[in-house]
Chain A
Amino acid sequence: MLYPLLMTSASGEGGIRCLLVRAGEYLCALPLNQVRRVVATLTTHPLPGAAPELLGLAEFAGEALPVLDLACLVNAPAGAASGQPVTVVVWAGPPAERELVGLAADEALAIVELPLHALTETRLGLVSGEALQAGRPVRVLNLEHLGAT
């Protein structure tokens, strides 16, 4: 089961609905069923000694929310600074242990549906596959794996 969420896509046409965000120069597709909310960039409070991809903790719905740097997670080169930076609140980790995590992206673009036949499995990890969207490569993220790491 590489794509358990894909099988339960809303379209029912063998596709996966994702939130397309831009992190640096990369386009990343976040499975829509794992996305909790998109908000404007939250103010983070850095944690001493934290990993580089952990920007810090932010306040979301009255609770502390760890915020990770998506571009750092996918090793994306720095891109254009245009657009509205957002923090995408997602469910990370396995379904049984999932928790809310904030991903700092440069821009939340759109809700897209990626056809399954267009997906190619790349490796096991955060980026589970790639697809072409409007001629540009889109990295499909496996957020369950994010919780594991």
Chain B
Amino acid sequence: MSEEHVRERTSPAWGFAILAVTVVVGFVTVLAASAGTARQWLATAFLAAGAVAVLAYLAFAYLPERRARQRAERVSQQVAGWERELVAGLVELQAGDLVKAPEQVRHLPERLAGAFSAATRALGGLIQQIQSSSTDVAAAGNAVHATASELASGSSEQAAAVVQITATMEELARTAAQIAGNAASQADLAAHAEQTGETGVAAVEEALGGLEEVQKRISAIAARADTLGTRSKEIYRVLDLITEIAQETHILSLNAAIEAAAAGEHGRRFGVVADEVRRLAQRSQESVDSVRNLLEEFSSSIRATVVATEEGGKEASRGLERARAAANAIDALRSALADTARTAKETSLATEQQRTASDQVVLTAKEVSQVIQRMAEGLKHFSGTAERLNQLALSIQLLTQSFRIDAARSLKHLCEHWATELGGRGGQWEMAESQLAELVARHPFVEMAFLADAHGVMAAFSVNREWTGGRSAGSVTVGMNMHDRPWYQTVMREGRPILTPLYDSLLTGDRCFSVAAPIRDPSGAHLGVLGFDVNARSWTKI
């Protein structure tokens, strides 16, 4: 409010002050006149003062008040105009049109309009920031969702792997236990075999002693057999001597018999003696022959004995060597068995430790499996949260898109822009389809753009085939009646861009929402409605 207005509002106070002073002076004068103390000049003065007071009132109170009232009326009218503009601007704000709202208040005082515009710009900036933030949130949510899904999938695979590892480790533990048992049995067997080996070594050593004794005995037998052979030769010489004696005796007996025969009757007795001598010599010879035969057999036996003892000695030597080799082999085997027993014990101990470690690994793996399952559940919950965050970001985006701001990311503004472009055709929609195709091509988040004329009939449309997988628009055809569609009704009723809630697209089956704006010619005549469907899966590309 200006200083002039303040000064004008103080003028009536001055008038009332003069009147009050006049009344007080007049009341005092009347009281003095009634008391008889007043004089004539006082009445005159009173009248003069009254006149002055009237004049003063007119000059300082009435006339300024009148001017002030007139100014107030003009101000009131101006404020009413400002109020209307402000209300209109606020109505546009209420409708979310931050582009038209500043236009509605352009006649407001500069500071007010500036403040309104600044507030609108700030609101627009806030909306853009919210849009950007919602996009970032959605992107982060998508990333989190993707990561959570990937982690959940990975966790499931990990859980499966851990289950497999657990099963493998359990099998390994069982195998280790079996190996431990086998190793223990092997150790026992090896220890028993070692003891047997020691016994075998002792037995072989004893056998070695026996073989050495046998070899000695055989050597002794061979020596004795050799002695017997020598003695046999002596016996042969004796036998030869006896044989020679017997033969000589035989010859002698024959000669005696011859002489006895020559002696005739006198030699008969001598002949008998000679015959007995001959018989004796013959028996001697027979005995010698018998002894010789026996001696031959005895010599043969001795020779066989010598050969056998020699063979026995050789065999005993070979047996001795074999026994020594066997003793060495058994000793080596005993050492190997001792090593085997020690190794088997170590193996048993190691496999027992391995089984214990496997059991611990199995327990740990089960705990890990439980942790992974809990983590997978948490990741699923996390994924759901990310999905909800994405939905929330989309809701925020839809809320921000309910505002029309002068920004490229404002869908209402975008729709209004393309509607203005189409409005330049003056209702001739033959070439509108190419313009719609350009709209679809330039904005990949748009599933389909469509145009309904002033009667609500589909005049043109264009489909983003990347969303339909190369299919056409299906049931959508030019000439369809769109008059009863809510978006058409709303746009026609409000005459401004609108944003629909989310719904399921008939074209793709995805969640989507539509943006529609009226098409007007440059004179403001209504020509139709432009709309496009935005796929909710790509709203972050807005």
User: B272 CB to closest chain A CB, in angstroms?
Assistant: 11
Contact indicator A111/B268 (Cβ below 8 Å): no
Separation of A40 and B261 alpha carbons in the complex (Å): 20
Contact indicator A33/B255 (Cβ below 8 Å): no
B130: Cβ under 8 A from any A Cβ: no
B275: Cβ under 8 A from any A Cβ: yes
Contact indicator A10/B258 (Cβ below 8 Å): no
List residues 256-288 of chain B with CB under 8 A from any CB of chain A.
Answer: 257-258, 261-262, 264-265, 268, 271, 275, 278, 282
Within 8 Å CB of B255, what residues of A?
Answer: 37-38
A36: Cβ under 8 A from any B Cβ: yes
A103: Cβ under 8 A from any B Cβ: no
Contact indicator B247/A84 (Cβ below 8 Å): yes
Range, interface on chain B:
10 to 19
How many A residues, CB 8 Å from partner?
A: 16
List residues 12-66 of chain A with CB under 8 A from any CB of chain B.
Answer: 17, 19, 32-33, 35-40
Contact indicator B251/A35 (Cβ below 8 Å): no
A108: Cβ under 8 A from any B Cβ: yes
Give a binary string over B297-334; 1 marks a CB under 8 Å from any A CB, 0 the rest: 00000000000000000000000000000000000000
Within 8 Å CB of B254, what residues of A?
Answer: 19, 38, 108, 110-111
Separation of A16 and B247 alpha carbons in the complex (Å): 25
B413: Cβ under 8 A from any A Cβ: no
Contact indicator A111/B278 (Cβ below 8 Å): yes
- Among A33, A84, A110, point to the contact of B261 (Cβ < 8 A): A33
B250: Cβ under 8 A from any A Cβ: yes
Interface of B is mostly: helix
Within 8 Å CB of B265, what residues of A?
Answer: 10
List residues 208-264 of chain B with CB under 8 A from any CB of chain A.
Answer: 247-248, 250-251, 254-255, 257-258, 261-262, 264
User: A61 CB to closest chain B CB, in angstroms?
Assistant: 13
Give a binary string over B353-373; 1 marks a CB under 8 Å from any A CB, 0 the rest: 000000000000000000000
Of listed B261, B265, B268, B278, residue having the most chain A CB within 10 A:
B261
Task: Say whether, besides A10-B268, A110-B278, A36 and B258 are in contact (CB < 8 Å).
Answer: yes
Of listed B248, B257, B282, residue having the most chain A CB within 10 A:
B257
Contact indicator B251/A10 (Cβ below 8 Å): no
Within 8 Å CB of A10, what residues of B?
Answer: 261, 264-265, 268, 271
Separation of A106 and B370 alpha carbons in the complex (Å): 123
A100: Cβ under 8 A from any B Cβ: no
User: A88 CB to closest chain B CB, in angstroms?
Assistant: 9
A86: Cβ under 8 A from any B Cβ: yes
Within 8 Å CB of A32, what residues of B?
Answer: 257-258, 261
User: A106 CB to closest chain B CB, in angstroms?
Assistant: 13
Chain B residue with the shortest CB-CB distance to A21: B254
Give a binary string over B187-208; 1 marks a CB under 8 Å from any A CB, 0 the rest: 0000000000000000000000
- Among B247, B257, B262, B264, point to the contact of A111 (Cβ < 8 A): B257
Contact indicator A40/B251 (Cβ below 8 Å): yes
Within 8 Å CB of B247, what residues of A?
Answer: 40, 84
Separation of A32 and B278 alpha carbons in the complex (Å): 15
User: B447 CB to closest chain A CB, in angstroms?
Assistant: 142
User: A22 CB to closest chain B CB, in angstroms?
Assistant: 13
- Among B248, B250, B258, point to the contact of A35 (Cβ < 8 A): B258
User: A85 CB to closest chain B CB, in angstroms?
Assistant: 10
Within 8 Å CB of B271, what residues of A?
Answer: 10
- Among A17, A33, A36, A108, point to the contact of B251 (Cβ < 8 A): A108
Task: Say whether, besides A10-B268, A110-B278, A111-B275, A38 and B251 are in contact (CB < 8 Å).
Answer: yes
Contact indicator B251/A39 (Cβ below 8 Å): yes
Separation of A101 and B261 alpha carbons in the complex (Å): 19
- Among B248, B250, B258, B282, point to the contact of A37 (Cβ < 8 A): B258
Within 8 Å CB of B258, what residues of A?
Answer: 19, 32, 35-38, 111
Chain A residue with the shortest CB-CB distance to B279: A110
Within 8 Å CB of A110, what residues of B?
Answer: 254, 278, 282
Within 8 Å CB of B248, what residues of A?
Answer: 40
- Among B261, B278, B282, point to the contact of A17 (Cβ < 8 A): B261
Give a binary string over A101-118; 1 marks a CB under 8 Å from any B CB, 0 the rest: 000000010110000000
User: A7 CB to closest chain B CB, in angstroms?
Assistant: 14
Separation of A37 and B258 alpha carbons in the complex (Å): 7
Chain A residue with the shortest CB-CB distance to B262: A33
Contact indicator B261/A86 (Cβ below 8 Å): no
Give a binary string over A79-98; 1 marks a CB under 8 Å from any B CB, 0 the rest: 00000101000000000000
Chain B residue with the shortest CB-CB distance to A108: B254
Within 8 Å CB of A38, what residues of B?
Answer: 251, 254-255, 258
Separation of A54 and B326 alpha carbons in the complex (Å): 75
Within 8 Å CB of A84, what residues of B?
Answer: 247, 250-251
Separation of A110 and B248 alpha carbons in the complex (Å): 13
Separation of A33 and B262 alpha carbons in the complex (Å): 6
Separation of A10 and B271 alpha carbons in the complex (Å): 10
27 A-B pairs in the complex with CB atoms less than 8 angstroms apart = A10-B261, A10-B264, A10-B265, A10-B271, A19-B254, A32-B258, A32-B261, A33-B262, A35-B258, A36-B258, A37-B255, A37-B258, A38-B251, A38-B254, A38-B255, A39-B251, A40-B247, A40-B251, A84-B247, A84-B250, A86-B251, A108-B250, A108-B251, A110-B278, A110-B282, A111-B254, A111-B257
| B contacts, CB < 8 Å to A | 247-248, 250-251, 254-255, 257-258, 261-262, 264-265, 268, 271, 275, 278, 282
* Closest CB pairs A-B (n = 5): A84-B247, A111-B257, A38-B254, A32-B261, A38-B251
* Other A-B pairs beyond A32-B258, A38-B251, A86-B251, 18, CB < 8 Å: A10-B261, A10-B264, A10-B268, A32-B257, A32-B261, A33-B261, A33-B262, A35-B258, A37-B258, A39-B251, A40-B247, A40-B248, A84-B250, A110-B254, A111-B254, A111-B261, A111-B275, A111-B278
